[in-house]
A and B are shown apart, each in its own frame.
Chain A
Amino acid sequence: EDQVTQSPEALRLQEGESSSLNCSYTVSGLRGLFWYRQDPGKGPEFLFTLYSAGEEKEKERLKATLTKKESFLHITAPKPEDSATYLCAVRPGGGSQGNLIFGKGTKLSVKP
């Protein structure tokens, strides 16, 4: 069964304290792993797409990496405005429609 597990569920950091969020997945034929950011009361905002193991993408203080079993979202020197829930999703291959399977998210709080 296709599955996505994110950890930790919640993460509290001090401003400037770097850390990583984990997304572990089991999927039949990965056709993309996606990271989104969601602020309270808003829809998810697209961050990155990763397609193959070894791929990395960066955007400001965020860097996403991918292996065959998991993805990490590294946050370097976070700021309070980085506080949000970060969602990981995978698109399975095979005979599926390609609908995204989401993890439950990691709620990040960055204190000044």
Chain B
Amino acid sequence: GAVVSQHPSWVICKSGTSVKIECRSLDFQATTMFWYRQFPKQSLMLMATSNEGSKATYEQGVEKDKFLINHASLTLSTLTVTSAHPEDSSFYICSAREGRLAGGGTQYFGPGTRLLVL
């Protein structure tokens, strides 16, 4: 089956530093990638949608200058949390949708990255 990887799987950083998380689709091309955030015992919250070669679309309430998304190729998207603060601590999960059909295809998820900001 389709595999999505994320790196790193967990990261601890000091307040004020920036953290970059990579998301790769290993065996398929993903025109569209997604970034989610999940708080304990809660469901997934979509942060942004990114299409290869174009700017990401952010959900309401998500600061685009704080969460920088780059979808540089059909297999790689990165999320950079800039000037991280303790309230940014969370579980971040990326997802990639296979296929080039607009809105079609199955969405596969990465294993997640746990971020702890001290």
Asked if residues B103 and A104 are in contact (CB atoms below 8 Å), the reply is no
Contact of A44 with B106 at beta-carbon distance under 8 Å, contacts A97-B49, A97-B57, A104-B43 already known: no
The residues of A with any CB-CB pair to B shorter than 8 Å are 31-32, 34, 36, 41-46, 49, 87, 91, 93, 96-100, 102-105
Q: Which residues of B contact A97 (CB under 8 A)?
A: 49, 57, 103
Asked if residues A43 and B112 are in contact (CB atoms below 8 Å), the reply is yes
Q: Which residues of B contact A31 (CB under 8 A)?
A: 103-104
Contact of A49 with B109 at beta-carbon distance under 8 Å, contacts A99-B46, A99-B49, A104-B43 already known: no
Interface of A is mostly: loop
The residues of B with any CB-CB pair to A shorter than 8 Å are 1-2, 4, 6, 34, 42-44, 46, 49, 57, 91, 93, 95, 102-104, 106-112, 114
CA–CA, A98 and B2, complex, Å: 20
CA–CA, A87 and B43, complex, Å: 8
Q: Which residues of A contact B57 (CB under 8 A)?
A: 97
Contact of A42 with B111 at beta-carbon distance under 8 Å, contacts A87-B43, A104-B43, A105-B43 already known: yes
Contact of A98 with B43 at beta-carbon distance under 8 Å, contacts A41-B112, A45-B109 already known: no
Q: Looking at the complex, which one of A34, A43, A104 makes contact with B110 (CB distance below 8 Å)?
A: A43
Known contacts A34-B106, A91-B103, A99-B49; 5 further A-B pairs (Cβ under 8 A): A43-B109, A44-B93, A46-B1, A46-B109, A99-B34
